[in-house]
Amino acid sequence: MRKYSLDYVWGFIFKNSNANETDNDVSEVSDPPVSSTDENTERGNWANKREYMLSMVGYAVGLGNVWRFPYLTYKNGGGAFLIPYFIMLAVAGLPLFFMECSLGQFSSQGPITVWKVVPILQGVGVTMVLVSALVAIYYNVIVAYSIYYLFASFQSPLPWSDCFSWSNEKCGVTPKDWCNGSTANGTVTMVETTWLTDNNETCPEGNIVSIPVQSPSEQYWDLVALKRSGGMDETGEVVWYLALSLLLGWLLIGASLFKGIKSSGKVVYFTATFPYIVLLILLIRGVTLEGSREGIEYYIGTQSNLTKLAEAEVWKDAAAQIFYSLSIAWGGVMTLSSYNKFENNCYKDSIIVCMTNCGTSVFAGFAIFSILGHMAHVYGKPVSEIAQDGFGLAFIAYPDALSKLPVSPLWSILFFFMLLTLGLDSQFASIEVITTSLQDTFPSVFKSKGSQLTVVTCIILFLLGLPCVTRSGIYWVTLMDHFCGGWVLLVAAILELIGLCYIYGGNRFIKDIEMMIGEKTSWFWLWWRLCWFFISPCVLIVILVWSLLTFSNPTYGSVVYPSWGLSLGWCMTAFFLVWIPVCAVWKVLKAEGNLYQRVKMACSSTEDWGPYQERHWGERYQKRHCYWRKNSLTLSNMDACVITNIHSIKV
C-alpha cells in the first residue's frame, strides 16, 4: 500500500491546489503514454476495441496453428480429430480463457499483482512471467529462422530447390539405386542403375540396393541455415547470419512496443491480418495444383478414421493442442485484458477469439496439405511420407513443396513473411507480460520508465538468445520447448482454477464478472460453474498425469541429448515451479497470528483487491475499502472515513 505523508493527505482532503497540480503533472508525463480518452489515466487503455481484439487474436494464433495442428489432425484420424478438438475447446479452452480475460480486466493488473485475489498463490504469477520470458528467448530464435529464410527467398532458383555446391553426396531428390555385382576375378562392385540404363545394361532384380538420400531442403536446413553440429556437446561458433536475424527480430519487437500498447496496437492492424491473406492466397494456389485433392483427403477428407476416437491419446492431443494454442496460463491473456475498459464485454471477446483461433487452425490445414499433396504427386510418394511436424514442416517439407511451384520465390517470400508476422504477434504479448508485471509489482521503480524498460528487456533477451544461434542452437531450442512449455503451464492452470474457484470463491468471482458485463441468469452460469469447478480441472489433471506417465527424453532427429542436458532441462522446470511454494511460505510468514490465522490471512484477498478505479467499486468494494485511518491521520473533532487502495486516497 502506498505511503502518504500527513501533509500530503491533509492537503488532498482540503483540496490543496499544489497537491492537485503535482498529481496532474505526473499524469501528463506518464510512461507508458496515456491519452485524454483513456478511462484509466495511470495504466492507460487500448485506443479502441479493434486493437485489443487484433492483439488477442495475434497472440492466440501463432506458429502452432500452422505447423502443429494440421499434422495432429492428419495423425489422429483426419476429420474425426475435430470432434475431440472442439469438445476440448468447450470444456477446457474457452472456460479458462474466459476466466483469465475476466480476471485481468476486473483488476487491471498483470499476472503477478493480480494474485492479490489469493496472495498465497502469487508464485503462480511469478511462474507465468518466468516461463513467458524463457519462451520469448527461444521463440524469437524461430522468428530469426523465418527472417533468414525470407531473405534467402529473394533469389531464383531457391537455394534449397536442388543439390547445389553446399550439399554433400547424400543429397538427392529420389533414392539412389545401386547394382551389387561381381567381376570375373570375384571382386564386388557397386554401380548406379542410371549408368547401367545409359549403357543399355540391366541389373538382376535381387541385386538392386536402394540407398536413402536427404532432400535438398533438408540438407539446406542442416548444413546451411543451422550449420548444425553433431550434438549439444559440440557448441561451435555463433552463426553470424542467424545472430543478425535474431537482432533484427528484437529490433522489430522493441520498435513495435516502444510506447507499449499504444504502438503495438497499431502494428497488429498489419501483423494480425496479413497471415490470413497469405493463407487464402496459398489455399487458392494449392487447390489448383495437381495432387492437391489427395493432400486434402489425407488431412480432413474421406481418409478420416472414426475408430481413432477410441484411443485416449487422441483426446489428450486435442486437449493439449487447445490449451497451448490459446496460450492459457502464460500470463499474456491477463496482461492484454488488463488494459481494457472496465465494462468491456470480456465474455463476448473470449468467444470470438477462441473461435477465430480454432477456425484459423482448420483453415491453415487446407492451405498446408493442398500443397503437400502436390509435392507428394511430384515425388510419387504417399502424403504420409511428406507430412512432418514442427520444424520439419515449416523449414523442410513446405519450403521443398514451394520450390516445385512456378515463380517459387514469390510463394516462398509470402510463406516466410507470414511466419514472421505470426511470430511477432505472439512475441508482443510475451514482452508485455514481462514489462507490465515489473511496472505493476515495482511501480516506484518502473512505472514512469516503460519505454526504457522495453528496450532493456529486449537487449537482455537478445543476449540470452545468442547460445540458440550457435551451431548447437537447435538443440537448445528443442530442450527449452520440451521442458518449459508443458508441465509448468499445466500446474499453473490447475492452481489458477483451485485458487479462484475454491479459495477465493467461484460465486464471488462470478459476482465480480457481473459487475463488468451485467447480471446474467443462473442458467447462463450453470455451464461455467460446471467447467470451472469440475470439468476443466479434471481435464488438465488428466493431461498432466498422462504427460508424466508417457514422458520420453527429448531428441532431435536421431541425436540423443547428453545426461547433463537432460539434467539442465529438469533444473529449468524446477526453477519455474519452485516459486509457487516459496511465495506461499513467504506470504504465510509475513502474516500475523498463529499458523491457522497466518494461512487464513494468506488465502484472503488483500485490502486493495478489486477494481483499479474507485468509480467501479460498487457497494461491495466501497465497504471493503472504507475504514478508519486512525494510525495515519490525527484529526481533532473530526470523523473521517478514508477510502484507499494502492492507486488513490480520498475522503
141 assigned binding-site residue: no
- Whether the pLDDT of residue 200 is over 90: the answer is no
- Whether the pLDDT of residue 55 is over 80: the answer is yes
Distance between CA atoms of residues 491 and 545, nearest Å: 11
60 assigned binding-site residue: yes
485 assigned binding-site residue: no
Residues 507-529: pLDDT tens digits?
999 999 999 999 899 899 999 99
Task: Please tell me whether the overall predicted TM-score, pTM, comes out greater than 0.75 for this model.
Answer: yes
553 assigned binding-site residue: no
Residues 116-125: pLDDT tens digits?
999 999 999 9
Residues 79-104: pLDDT tens digits?
888 889 999 999 999 999 999 999 99
76 assigned binding-site residue: no
Hey, what's the torsion of the CAs at 107, 109, 112, 115, to 10 degrees? -10
- Whether the pLDDT of residue 192 is over 70: the answer is no
Q: Which of the residue ranges 310-319, 340-349, 382-391 would you say has the lowest mean pLDDT?
A: 382-391
Distance between CA atoms of residues 214 and 458, nearest Å: 37
For 134, 190, 420, 473, 577, the CA distances from 460, given in Å and listed in that order, are: 11, 56, 21, 18, 22
557 assigned binding-site residue: no
302-327 as b/e: b if 16+ CB within 10 A: ebbeeebeeeeebbbbbbbbbbbbbb
C-beta of residue 59 within 8 angstroms of C-beta of residue 356: no
Residues 18-45: pLDDT tens digits?
334 333 443 444 565 677 677 878 888 8
**pLDDT at 80 (0 to 100):** 84
222 assigned binding-site residue: no
SS3 state of residue 635: coil
Q: Is the peptide bond before 157 cis (omega within 30 degrees of 0)?
A: yes
Distance between CA atoms of residues 468 and 470, nearest Å: 6
Where does residue 51 rank: exposed (0-12), middle (13-18), buried (19+ CB within 10 A)?
Answer: buried
| Pick from 220, 221, 365, 391: nearest CA to 286 | 365
- Whether the pLDDT of residue 380 is over 90: the answer is no
403 assigned binding-site residue: no
Residue tagged 489458477 (cell numbers): 496
61 assigned binding-site residue: yes
Hey, what's the torsion of the CAs at 130, 453, 646, 607, to 10 degrees? 0
Contacts of 205 (CB under 8 A, 6+ apart): none
Distance between CA atoms of residues 136 and 239, nearest Å: 20
Residues 465-509: pLDDT tens digits?
999 999 999 999 999 988 887 788 889 999 999 999 999 999 999
**pLDDT at 178 (0 to 100):** 58
